[in-house]
């Protein structure tokens, strides 16, 4: 198998208009594709997030517990900006000794984090 890249990461939503406000207005991500009542896609850096309600296709709905790490240049500044837009973070900004991380969730409980690696690999 010859893999080129990841095409998208699927994010489940129970309320697409609410999710659109969160991802587009609150996080400020550009819409890549609009699927009307089926969902939408946003660009997150080099990654596409496909936000949709799987129950419309007869599939099970569930939130993603594995954090999608969003790279930012300054975790604390980005966190402060998002807190000003109403996002509640889970605990303090975490310093692992090689990176800073700040954890939060979308309205459906999908796990996200702000991330910045500051130590060389």
| Domain ranges for the chain | 1-55, 64-121
Q: Structure pTM?
A: 0.92
Superfamily of the domain at 64-121 = 2,3-Dihydroxybiphenyl 1,2-Dioxygenase, domain 1 (3.10.180.10)
Contact present, 36 and 18 (Cβ < 8 Å): no
Residue 12 near residue 64, CB atoms below 8 Å? yes
What pLDDT band is residue 29 in, cutting at 50, 70 and 90? Answer: very high
Mean pLDDT of 101-109: 97
Which architecture characterizes domain 1-55 according to CATH?
Roll (3.10)
Residue 90 has pLDDT above 90, yes or no: yes
At residue 38, the pLDDT reads: 86
Q: Is the pLDDT of residue 87 over 80?
A: yes
């Amino acid at each position: 198998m010859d893999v080129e890249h990841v095409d998208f990461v699927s994010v489940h939503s129970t309320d697409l208009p609410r999710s659109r406000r969160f991802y587009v207005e609150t996080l400020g991500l550009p819409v890549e594709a609009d699927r009307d009542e089926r969902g939408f896609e946003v660009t997150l850096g080099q990654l596409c997030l496909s936000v949709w309600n799987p129950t419309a296709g007869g599939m099970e709905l569930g939130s993603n517990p594995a954090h999608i790490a969003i790279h930012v240049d300054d975790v604390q500044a980005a966190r402060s900006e998002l807190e000003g837009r109403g996002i509640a973070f889970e605990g303090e900004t975490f310093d692992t000794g090689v990176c800073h991380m700040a954890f939060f969730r979308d309205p459906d409980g999908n796990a996200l984090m702000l991330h910045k690696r500051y130590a060389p690999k």
